[in-house]
Structure 1
Amino acid sequence: MQVRDSWQAAGSGGADQGTVRRANLSLLLRSLRDGGPRSRARLAADLGLNKATVSSLVGELIDRGLAREGSAERGAVGRPGTIVEVNGSGAFGVGAEINVHHVSTLAVDLAGTKVSERRTSVDTRGLRPEQVVDRLVELLQGTLGDLDELGAVPVSVVVGVAGLVDRDRGTVSVAPNLGWQGVELAGLLRTKLGDPAYLVDVDNEANLAAVAEATPGDPDRRDILVVHGEVGIGGGIVADGRPFQGRLGFAGEFGHMVVDRGGRRCGCGRTGCWETVIGLSRLIEVATDEGDALRSPDLGLEAKVEEINRRAAADDERMLDALHEVGRWVGIGAAALTNALNPGMIVLSGYLGEVGEWFQDDVETELASGVLAPDSGGTRIGLSTLGFSAAVCGAAAVAIEHVFDDPTLVRRATDSLEAMS
């Protein structure tokens, strides 16, 4: 992609000069992130912009603290140019997650490096939405304190929620497993955070998990579906390297595909949703009796998964049978999704990724038998390596992506000096 020089566009009566300059700044900053450090001359050649324009853009990125100069370019013919690179400490984004059993936060810098990570167990189903937001704000305040020690404030806070989210309004339309309906989450957060200058956005947790799994530059990860499992089951779609969220942002609710019409009642009120046969609560119900420690609400999510893996490794027949049953149902749903969308990979995330080694063969068997196209249509099954942090990692990635979309969100150093004078 190339963007014309700002004065060329403005002089031709095209796009507004400021808009084109922001687009050029974004293009240049992304190029430094994705293509690595380079000299101004090399950037100009790679982006199809003239050297004067690139020099001006680099100067502005440096003034905003988003880029910095490094060493002299090696192997250059003639006078070597100075390398320009992304300044990781130039901006920060914060991701957060609200789920049934926990709230969490994660702050990253412009280079994607984690600088703060916090998590606390909360039985969100037993609290009113305002109380859950209070718990999250407590965690966010700690994260903001960590950034303050670095002399920074975030550009954006992005919160992932297990439910249908109206992103434009910042509202959780319905979250069956939280018991929420019509919760104006973004507004609540802004109020409790003191109406901050930075952006506050809300998104579906599985969409954010999909963002975290879509590894840039990996052709196998350009078209993926993410099935994110905890108490409930969510999904995310990445098409041609970009998140796909549907007409109103509600795409990816895989957990509420009806796969078993004679089955169990779901938290959404319908019967036989995919969630009812592959959710963590179903696995535990099949594998245990009343009074088993795995059924205790006091046992944390990670501890439950650890115990499931321990029993499976010890050849606990009942646990293995339950895992195989879940795996078959995962495969049945995965086949339906593959027939409809034919992704390059279906990534099992959350608890499904953590225990997936025990039933991946079952999933692949059902996928092969249920997909019309030969060789499962080229779709492969992958297990996430992000554990239960996939959604909050994706939220942090989206938060810092705002800077790459619009570098002018970060003030110039000269602007700050003028404001002080």
Structure 2
Amino acid sequence: MAQARDGWQGAGSGGADQRTLRRANLALVMHGLRDGGPRSRARLAADLGLNKATVSSLVGELMERGLVREGKAERGAVGRPGTIVELDGTGAYGVGAEINVNHVTTLAVDLAGEVVSEHRSSVDTRGLRPEQVVDRLVELLHGTLADVAERGSEPVAVVTGVAGLVDRDRGTVSVAPNLGWQDVPVAAMLRERLDEPDYLVEVANEANLAAVAEATPGDPDRRDILVVHGEVGIGGGIIADGRPYQGRLGFAGEFGHMVVDRDGRRCGCGRTGCWETVIGLTRLLEEAADPTDDLRGPELELEERVAEINRRAAAGDERTLAALHEVGRWVGIGAAALTNALNPGVIVLSGYLGEIGEWIEADVEAEVASGVLAPGSGGTRIALSTIGLSAAVRGGAAVAIDHVYEDPTLVPRAGVPELGATS
């Protein structure tokens, strides 16, 4: 863990430098408590390389901001036991949102990552203008924000995932083939409809957010992973050495548009044979059911379709099982190519792919074993998401709440004016 210094060295340091150092040290304490668990002030000071007076001051400010609280006396301490300091789970809230082909979703979590609000609405986003889709999302956001307001707070950030290429700096969806969007300023549209809120409003690729949700903090097996997130389209996310990797301009992880079958079907992006044309939910439904089958009708929601596929597979329906095996084979072909290129520790099948995982996992593993050059598949293993279809929106909420750990001053102090305090 990086250590902070008690004072600022160098002549001519102004108030801005002092405040920057203060924020950095506040963040250091927050990270220390999240990653290392509750501890006394003395233990925190020793672990973080700060003196006790500084830590006491920092903890005092974090308590004023409602981000930490005192717990029980420290066990096993020599001499007079110190009081444990721990994160206050109810001290801050983050909101995730998602725009996908068939639905919009919102979800709020507290500082401890506990879900405090969740709303979902089925929407045929391809049949609406971007403005109409954003309006539908804002309707859900108002409900989620009201749930947070009932707890006496507002979020530190709202992070919205969209199924497409996202320019995060501009808050713009550059290209979303399955939505039919191009250069849509989603962040600006949300800010306007939310009356220019004080909290942060950001937009990201939904599969990248799903990857954040799957990267369990502190789990060494999840420090180098790829997430293949599937619904109608297929996206991906990369976690390298415990951190999201988004590429030079933020467009990394578009696994669904790897060309795997040059003689295959035309993709929504305009090319032929993209991976999502053979493993996306649309392809599975086409292979598993006739056009008149209720499974392909507009009445069923995503969860209902997936549940029905699983039900038919469990009942031994041959057509369903054959369709699942074919999808699994193609998932494995793409996963093998990704393994040869990136050699992750784990490839996590997320979204609908995780929900049907029990039927396709063996096929995926067989293709990876035969298609990867390195012995033993290079140590890469296949895992199924345990988060389900909410991975992307949970990732958005996680990114939103992470802003508090990077800058605790985003949460105001109760009844205390913000002044430039020293470290």
TM-score (norm 2): 0.96
- Decide which moves more: 166-175 or 296-305: 296-305
- Decide which moves more: 264-273 or 74-83: 74-83
* Displacement of 1:417: 10
1:69 lines up with 2:70 in the alignment: yes
Contact 2:4 2:48 in 1 (8 A): no
* Displacement of 1:6: 4.4
Contact 2:156 2:404 in 1 (8 A): yes
In structure 1, distance between residues paired with 2:39 and 2:90? 19
* Displacement of 1:411: 1.1
The amino acid across from 1:53 in the alignment is T
Contact 1:210 1:226 in 2 (8 A): yes
- Secondary structure at the aligned position of 2:252 is classed as coil
- Secondary structure at the aligned position of 1:376 is classed as helix
- Secondary structure at the aligned position of 2:86 is classed as strand
The amino acid across from 2:121 in the alignment is T
State the partner residue of 2:140. Answer: 139
State the partner residue of 1:4. Answer: 4
* Displacement of 1:71: 1.8
In structure 1, distance between residues paired with 2:237 and 2:178? 18
Q: 1:289 to 1:177 in 2, by over 3 A?
A: same
In structure 2, distance between residues paired with 1:137 and 1:104? 10
* Displacement of 1:17: 2.3
Contact 1:10 1:17 in 2 (8 A): no
* Displacement of 1:11: 6.0
- Secondary structure at the aligned position of 1:165 is classed as strand
Q: Deviation digits for residues 314-361 of structure 1, max 9, x if unmatched?
A: 111111111111011000000000000000000000110000111111
- Secondary structure at the aligned position of 1:215 is classed as coil
The amino acid across from 2:232 in the alignment is V
State the partner residue of 2:255. Answer: 254
1:51 lines up with 2:64 in the alignment: no
- Secondary structure at the aligned position of 2:287 is classed as helix
In structure 2, distance between residues paired with 1:2 and 1:324? 48
In structure 1, distance between residues paired with 2:29 and 2:41? 10
Contact 1:171 1:202 in 2 (8 A): yes
State the partner residue of 2:130. Answer: 129
State the partner residue of 1:272. Answer: 273
State the partner residue of 1:165. Answer: 166
State the partner residue of 1:406. Answer: 407
Contact 1:9 1:20 in 2 (8 A): no
In structure 2, distance between residues paired with 1:394 and 1:178? 21
In structure 1, distance between residues paired with 2:333 and 2:343? 14
Contact 1:3 1:20 in 2 (8 A): no
- Secondary structure at the aligned position of 2:197 is classed as coil
Task: Trace 1:19-168 onto structure 2 (pairs within 5 A).
Answer: 19-168=20-169
In structure 1, distance between residues paired with 2:286 and 2:345? 33
The amino acid across from 1:3 in the alignment is Q
Contact 2:6 2:51 in 1 (8 A): no
In structure 1, distance between residues paired with 2:301 and 2:218? 36
State the partner residue of 2:176. Answer: 175
Q: Deviation digits for residues 95-117 of structure 1, max 9, x if unmatched?
A: 01011111111111111111111
In structure 2, distance between residues paired with 1:10 and 1:76? 38
- Secondary structure at the aligned position of 2:300 is classed as coil
Task: Trace 1:314-353 onto structure 2 (pairs within 5 A).
Answer: 314-353=315-354
The amino acid across from 1:134 in the alignment is D
Q: Deviation digits for residues 384-416 of structure 1, max 9, x if unmatched?
A: 011110000000000000000000111112426
Task: Trace 1:182-331 onto structure 2 (pairs within 5 A).
Answer: 182-331=183-332
Contact 1:6 1:17 in 2 (8 A): no
The amino acid across from 1:272 in the alignment is G
- Secondary structure at the aligned position of 2:62 is classed as helix
TM-score (norm 1): 0.97
- In the alignment, structure 2 segments of 5+ residues that lack a partner are none
Q: 1:135 to 1:39 in 2, by over 3 A?
A: same
State the partner residue of 1:383. Answer: 384
Q: 1:12 to 1:55 in 2, by over 3 A?
A: farther
* Displacement of 1:50: 1.2
Q: Deviation digits for residues 131-155 of structure 1, max 9, x if unmatched?
A: 0011000000001111111111111
* Displacement of 1:22: 1.0
In structure 1, distance between residues paired with 2:29 and 2:316? 55
The amino acid across from 1:279 in the alignment is G
Structure ranking higher on relative contact order (CA contacts 8 Å, 6+ apart) = 2
* Displacement of 1:277: 0.3
In structure 1, distance between residues paired with 2:292 and 2:218? 48
Q: Deviation digits for residues 277-329 of structure 1, max 9, x if unmatched?
A: 00011011112222011111221111100110011111111111111110110
- Secondary structure at the aligned position of 2:153 is classed as coil
Q: Structure 1 runs of 4+ off > 3 angstroms?
A: 8-15
- Secondary structure at the aligned position of 1:391 is classed as helix
RMSD: 1.5
- Decide which moves more: 10-19 or 324-333: 10-19
- Secondary structure at the aligned position of 2:386 is classed as coil
In structure 2, distance between residues paired with 1:140 and 1:174? 24
The amino acid across from 1:346 in the alignment is I
- Secondary structure at the aligned position of 1:115 is classed as strand
Taking only the aligned residue pairs, the percentage that are identical comes to 77
In structure 1, distance between residues paired with 2:23 and 2:418? 22
Contact 1:5 1:53 in 2 (8 A): no
The amino acid across from 1:4 in the alignment is A
In structure 2, distance between residues paired with 1:219 and 1:61? 29
Q: Deviation digits for residues 182-215 of structure 1, max 9, x if unmatched?
A: 0000000000000000000000000000000000
- Decide which moves more: 241-250 or 27-36: 27-36
- Secondary structure at the aligned position of 1:359 is classed as helix
Q: 1:415 to 1:13 in 2, by over 3 A?
A: closer
* Displacement of 1:10: 5.3
In structure 1, distance between residues paired with 2:157 and 2:139? 17
